[in-house]
Structure 1
Amino acid sequence: MDLPFLVATLARRGLITLGSPVRVAAQLKALRTWGWSIAGELRQAAARDPDRVAVIDEQGTRLTYAEFFDRSERLARGMRRALGVQAGDRIGVLCRNHHGMVETIVATILLGADVVLVNTGLSAAQLATMAEEQRLRTLVHDDEFADRVTSLPAEVQRVDERTREELVVGGLADDLRPPERDGRIIVLTSGTTGTPKGARRPTPSGLGPLVSIIDRIPLHARHTVMIAAPIFHTWGYAALQVCFALRATVVLHRRFDPAATLAALTAQRCDALFAVPVMLQRLLEVPPPDPRPPLKVVAVSGSALPGGLATRFMDVYGDVLYNLYGSTEVSWASIAGPAELRTAPTTAGRPPHGTRLAILDEAGGPVPTGEVGRIFVGNEMLFEGYTSGATRESRNGLLDTGDLGRVDTGGLLFVDGRADDMIVSGGENVFPSEVEELLARLPQVREAAVIGVPDPQYGQRLAAFLALHPGETLDPEAVREYVRHYLARFSVPRDVIFVKYLPRNATGKVLTRELRDYYHG
């Protein structure tokens, strides 16, 4: 990344400002010694802004950066002394969003151990399998998951909330030395169509990744930011990294509740909200507060924006919406701002500075503008591979996202869906996402999902699952006629199934495997 662009962006976002020479020197020393891991980011923030509030959660916890870092160091000391955690171990974190979860992540990285961020939606059997596959030494968990951890292998240590707090209280307060190896963050992929895989995330090597994001999403130093997206997900964890780098105040709730979220955004005077798209849908289902929260940025990622959601949200809360398209494997690929979403509500936007994007055919060659192909992405935060040893296809330094998409003549990216979601019906390529977006615009429809199912005549056909707003009704044939009016005949779902709700994981993605089980069941 070129230096003038980096400096200009940092200055524009308030990160290059005058300050106490002693604190600035301590900040730079922290970064030089600890780097840009989550522990290094927290340490530099504590050195520069020790008295600024770092974390607020709904249980009444309110910790300054100095207090928060002190607790994280104490926890690291306690984990090493009482649990024997050392560099190279893997520590699972099964927690919702709260200060204790973040302290555990930081403490683990301070010791040079790897953090496995565990999806809170896993069943007891899935947890046991994950613990074995990821070779966990310890699982730190919230008390609400006590019944799920009973099936863990006997050799896996279990740390509940009381024990974690005892480790903090009993930990020594003196500084830790940088570990002999850097700890890694391991994120479990969504697993919407199969078994989740562990993906090793790289540690940023400098300011480049931060600048790429804040250049396009106008987050500023010392903002107050609510992270509603689960921190165990790539997007929620990325939000945490950005916030610490900006020395922001982070607001956390264990569970997402639309009314409570709006109340917190107003009470804490939040400048920004990190969320996943389904959360925006839920926010629109409750009356907006008066006055509106003073939001300058609402940043979403994790799944596609349903048709019309972007404009409906901005009509209520202002032109503050930013949509980041990426994945656990490629980090970010593109960002759409309010103006782009007003013009094209389903666009994924454009690649940020330092990111390369290509639409390639099966042979690896570029496809013409406007035609659908495989999305490949290159940036400095591509993942380091799966913990199983597998990786993804790479071409000329660009990594396969697993998605299909196209770029229009204006340079905007549109994602048509997962490559393995596309079906061939009667010889025609059909993208379920196109039908989903259309069905989501029906006023009676609360949420929609479309999948491919076997068909004896055409090979495959579409099945639409619709959850309606309370009190609404729809006729299946009217739904088919609606789709037939706007799309080709092979895009019309033969099956229209009404359900109370769509099965989703904790990040809001629809679990298509459960829809297929429902269909065949």
Structure 2
Amino acid sequence: MAISLLTVGAVMAKRGMLAPAPPHRQVNQLVALRKWGFGLAGELRQAANRSPKQVAVIDEDRGPVTYSELLASSEKASALLQAKGFEPGQRLGLLARNHVGAIEIMTGASAVGIDLVLMNTGLSSGQLAQVAQQQEVVGLIHDDEFDTVASGLPDGLTVIRESDWARDLDATTAPQPLNPPARGGRTIILTSGTTGTPKGAARKTPGGFGPLISIIERIPLHAEDRTLISAPIFHTWGYAAMQLSFAMRATIVLQRRFDPQRAKDALEAHHCHAMFAIPVMLQRMMELPADPQGRRRRPDLRVVATSGSAYPHGFTTRFMDEYGDVLYNLYGSTEASWVCIATPENLRRDPDTAGTPPLGTVVKILDADDGEVAPGETGRIFCGNDLVFEGYTSGATKDFVDGLVSTGDMGHEADGLFYVDGRDDDMIVSGGENVYPIEVESLLVEHPAVREVSVVGVPDPEFGQRLAAFITLHDGHELTEDEVKDHVKANRARHCVPREVHFLDELPRNATGKVLLRELRSRIT
């Protein structure tokens, strides 16, 4: 899985990372990496040493912040964390949306060895309290809007509001330059928790350029790009986008909340070269009306990189017809990091493919006995790369086979491309027949009246399990339960027909865009 130094150099040169710079800046950049490593603290310092005047973040509230300014405020955040009594090795929770203050806390904690647990902004008060207890956090910093959510935390935790933190940070004296801690602070990212309580998975600190090269060899990001990160930075994809941006000395554009029109406006106003998002965000952007001249404005994008969930059948083609061949979809998980990347060429060939593994990544499709299946056959997806996790913070883990971790998905490989067929626990047996809900979803979403659909399996006293379809409709369209069933019956086998159909205004989703299956199942009586 190792990537050769020759390949590393070639890719870095191609992406503009080896462009000439003043010698002293290049030396300081390398010294920072050698001293601090490839975690958040090191990546920020290498960027600030190489390109101090380069804008690091354009925050919708604070405006532009250069890399030298971001490093200075990050070091003040480190000092403030220590002044408030947080110690190396302790876990601190952060409940925040996408803004530069959250980045200051992330990088500041990393630099003094404090482990940061990134809380999902969609957690209820009870869930937050449960996760805080499970992750053994000693404190929480949260955006002011989450006052009510944070009010249910147990006594004894140090709870700090964003506005109070910002006031204290302004009053903090800039410290002397820091030295790396004995152990750098880890970042703990919660799994999506779509079917249960979120689990904590610690992010590995990259040991070199390999993980960066794996991504930018396939996704054509360039040094000093301007990048809108719409994906939440508390979760895997948004966090990865932030790491990549630091490594590339890019300018990050941040908005606290995603709004399709405001995101489109930001892409145009800042002339963004790249956007990191989750699939449902692009779906909402495609629903925007044309401008008064009857045309859609196309931002100057080279890359739209997404991850987090599957696209509806055919959507990727429609998006690229509108925005150009700029779409790159990464299939991965919190535990496995990346698994496959689908390029525009892959998606034009088959809009439902997950693509192929990037450099340094091994993917195998295994049967129940851990043997590789033949091409075209469905099996369990296993993956290996430099950033595969080492287990949950609770001590539990996923299935491993020969160093490869299970993604929890079923899939197959055909003609050199990989495909995800569904979660390994999504497949149901109805009347003795195996059914993957995604097969029915892919059919129903093609219906002109259907905006979104999710199909789940639920217990059934007669058939063992049955399918239930939850559907949202496009404005002005109508559809009946019988019409849905007839459509499936006409195009799929009998056992694929959902036995009940529910029409909703919106599908319930978490903050990372994934449909909350447990909420859908709770509607079944």
Q: TM-score range by the shorter chain?
A: over 0.9
- Offset of residue 61 of structure 1: 2.3
Give 1:485's match in structure 2, choosing from 477, 490, 497.
490
Deviations 1:100-133 (A, max 9, x none): 0111100110110111010000001111111111
Alignment partner, residue 383 of structure 1: 389
Matched, 1:358 2:364: yes
Alignment partner, residue 142 of structure 1: 143
- Offset of residue 339 of structure 1: 1.1
Give 1:347's match in structure 2, choosing from 340, 345, 353.
353
- Secondary structure of the residue that 1:382 maps to in structure 2? coil
Give 1:433's match in structure 2, choosing from 424, 438, 441.
438
Give 2:323's match in structure 1, choosing from 289, 305, 317.
317
Q: Is 1:41–1:244's contact at 8 Å kept on the other side of the alignment? A: yes
Q: Is 1:421–1:432's contact at 8 Å kept on the other side of the alignment? A: yes
Q: Is 1:78–1:172's contact at 8 Å kept on the other side of the alignment? A: no
Q: Which amino acid aligns with 1:295?
A: L
Q: Is 1:43–1:69's contact at 8 Å kept on the other side of the alignment? A: yes
- Offset of residue 306 of structure 1: 1.2
Alignment partner, residue 422 of structure 2: 417
Alignment partner, residue 213 of structure 2: 211
Q: Which amino acid aligns with 2:55?
A: V
Matched, 1:451 2:456: yes
TM-score scaled by length of structure 2: 0.97
Q: Which amino acid aligns with 1:473?
A: E
Which residues in structure 2 correspond to 1:63-462 (within 5 Å)?
A: 63-81=65-83, 83-169=84-170, 170-288=172-290, 291-408=297-414, 410-462=415-467
The CA distance in 2 between the partners of 1:291 and 1:406, in whole Å, is 38
- Secondary structure of the residue that 2:276 maps to in structure 1? strand
- Offset of residue 288 of structure 1: 5.0
Moved more, 214-223 or 426-435: 426-435
- Secondary structure of the residue that 1:269 maps to in structure 2? coil
Q: Is 2:143–2:163's contact at 8 Å kept on the other side of the alignment? A: no
The CA distance in 2 between the partners of 1:200 and 1:79, in whole Å, is 20
- Offset of residue 456 of structure 1: 2.0
Q: Is 2:274–2:303's contact at 8 Å kept on the other side of the alignment? A: yes
Deviations 1:271-306 (A, max 9, x none): 000000000110011135654210110000001111
The CA distance in 2 between the partners of 1:161 and 1:187, in whole Å, is 20
The CA distance in 1 between the partners of 2:379 and 2:210, in whole Å, is 29
The CA distance in 1 between the partners of 2:510 and 2:297, in whole Å, is 32
The CA distance in 2 between the partners of 1:223 and 1:343, in whole Å, is 28
Deviations 1:401-445 (A, max 9, x none): 11000001x211110111111101111110001111111111111
- Offset of residue 507 of structure 1: 0.6
RMSD: 1.0
The CA distance in 1 between the partners of 2:423 and 2:79, in whole Å, is 44
TM-score scaled by length of structure 1: 0.98
Moved more, 325-334 or 289-298: 289-298
- Offset of residue 500 of structure 1: 0.9
Query: Structure 2 regions of 5+ residues with no counterpart?
Result: none
Q: Which amino acid aligns with 1:191?
A: G
Q: Is 1:75–1:171's contact at 8 Å kept on the other side of the alignment? A: no
- Secondary structure of the residue that 2:456 maps to in structure 1? strand
Query: Structure 1 regions of 5+ residues with no counterpart?
Result: none
- Offset of residue 164 of structure 1: 1.6
- Offset of residue 148 of structure 1: 1.1
Q: Which amino acid aligns with 1:187?
A: I
- Secondary structure of the residue that 2:137 maps to in structure 1? coil
The CA distance in 2 between the partners of 1:153 and 1:489, in whole Å, is 52
- Secondary structure of the residue that 1:403 maps to in structure 2? strand
Aligned-pair identity (%): 55
Q: Which amino acid aligns with 2:149?
A: R
The CA distance in 2 between the partners of 1:509 and 1:109, in whole Å, is 28
Deviations 1:315-364 (A, max 9, x none): 11111000000000000000000011111111100000110000001110
Q: Which amino acid aligns with 1:414?
A: Y
